Chains A and B, each alone.
Chain A
Amino acid sequence: MINEIFSIAFITGLIAATLRMSTPIILATLGEIITERAGVLNLGIEGTMLFGAAAGFLTTLATGNLWLGVFVAALGGIVLSLLMAVLAVYFGLSQHVSGLGITLFASGLAMFIYRLAVGSPTVPPVIDPFTPLVIPFLSKIPIIGPSLFSQYSLTYITWALIPIVSIFLFRTRAGLRVRTIGQNPLAADTVGVNVNLTRTLCLAAGGALFGVAGAFLTLAQQNMFLIDVIGGRGWIAIAMTIFGNWNPLMGAAGGLIFGFLDAFQLRLQSLGVDLPFHIFLMIPYLITILALISVSRKATVPAGLLKPYRREEKGG
């Protein structure tokens, strides 16, 4: 079996699967990093991703256009996150509760719409999913060629987004504003930055990414919509945000590791390793918990996280 693990076919397949399966997690993590850097914890990821998955899938089912599906999914994500903004930013309700409410609402809405549109056929409808975009010359390189350069276009976009988000946060004026709001909203307000508006925009950006992450699952990784398609990835993104210390590069690394574990356990199963497959399914979650433990000691949480920002509180 060890021989098989180190065979070229296995490794190539593993790398390819890692990149593929980490895509939705990385997207969602980037979205949550932007959001939390601005001081908002969005627990609505899981529901938003499900909504994106359903909305994207149904759009493509109706129109045959994959990118339109992605677009609608992003739009849906934005709308849901704006709802979160109204609750948690403008009304200042508990961020924990608002997010959970959104997850509940969005999940219900997603399944409701799906059932309305599709009914309950014995065979669930499928679409023609994205096909991997093969980059001409590079994909011929042994091992890394087929694995790195024959990925879905959404995956390439995701990888492009990692440095973009990083540059945005650390090298632009807007990014400085976002980071300041997350650390000390008062400091930003007193220099004239509109705290609530910025937080809302960050939520919206995050929402778009969550929607696309969900759509990736139904439009690329699979070709149908199942109720448990998200499978907890939204929550993983939250864990990865902490794990990555709110840094896009580190968060993406975390997403990659999780994708790797996910891909690895699938392959181990197919190799006939003699453990109940549920033990494998557990591994990514356990490792995430262990990773969180090791990181929590040094985590530099954005100081303004979880606090709604209100001006008219009477001081001394």
Chain B
Amino acid sequence: MKTNFVSTLAIQSALRLTVQRAQSEMMDAQTEAVTGRHADIGLELGASSARNVSLNRDVERMRTIIDGNALVTNRISSSQNALDQMAGSAQQVLDTLISMVGINDQGRLNVAETTVTTALENFTAFANSSSNGEFLFSGVNTDVKPLAGYTDTGSAAKASFDAAYLAYFGFTQNDPSAYTITTTQMDDFLTNQVEPLILGAGWDTDWSGADSNVMTSRINSNEVIDSSATINADGPKNMAMASVIIMEMLATPLSNDTRQVLAERAIDYVGQAISGIDFQRAELGLSEQRIAKANESLEIQIDLMSLYIGELENVDVYEASTRLTTLMTQVETSYTLTARIQQLSLTNYL
């Protein structure tokens, strides 16, 4: 038995497998050098592919949250802007009222009434502002106009007030008998008749189409914030209260003392309105700050995860291209060898 025997077939096929494998590795190395990632990530990572896939999903999700946060931020800043304007209207009412203390001149009273009416109309317009087709202050009822206009024809709130006035005093607002209304009566009327209509149950029926629940948004994988304001809050209610009693009664033939009580009460309401609106602004500001913080932490997480994903699926491009070069040399050598070995035959020398 020959120990060193080599069959011609073995010589011919010896380099075949090497060349075959080198060529398929060359293909992979080429892909890796160009893309910077493993040519077949699954094959390379095996069971760790699950982690890789999960990380990629998480990164995508966080990007989506950041995109969603942009929408929420947009809504909140629009709300902030509108609330700013609303607070401005309230401030205007307050200024007017303070300048009117102790003044009983009918002409100036009429001017004051008009100013307050305009202020409430402005207030109403801003309360009904919308962004992206959603009413900002409707709570979750984003498709319903939140605040009904008091000065609109057929206003339910106005009808309710008129009815309450007539029922309590027995005459209408501009009736000369209004002169007979005492300060106690006025106090009682405001507290027990008008307050329920505006600050109490009457708000939902006559004034507001909004929902008391504000919109909530998830701004992080584990944080949910309030992302809108509603008109069903103390600020807007008190603003309506102050404006309505001024519009309806300031310029009527009241006695000076009673008018004084009315004005003082109105100043009190509007003061509460301003602080209420400021409170809402502060709350939204807090939410804005939470979003900024959330985005910051999301960005950091995305960076970290991308780094880890990179470690899993990226290859060293230089290594890949060096490998490609080595493989090319190898294949070329193998070609040359094959050709030369094929030429080696005794036949050539016979």
User: Is chain B found bound to chain A in the same assembly?
Assistant: no
Q: B interface vs A, CB < 8 Å?
A: none
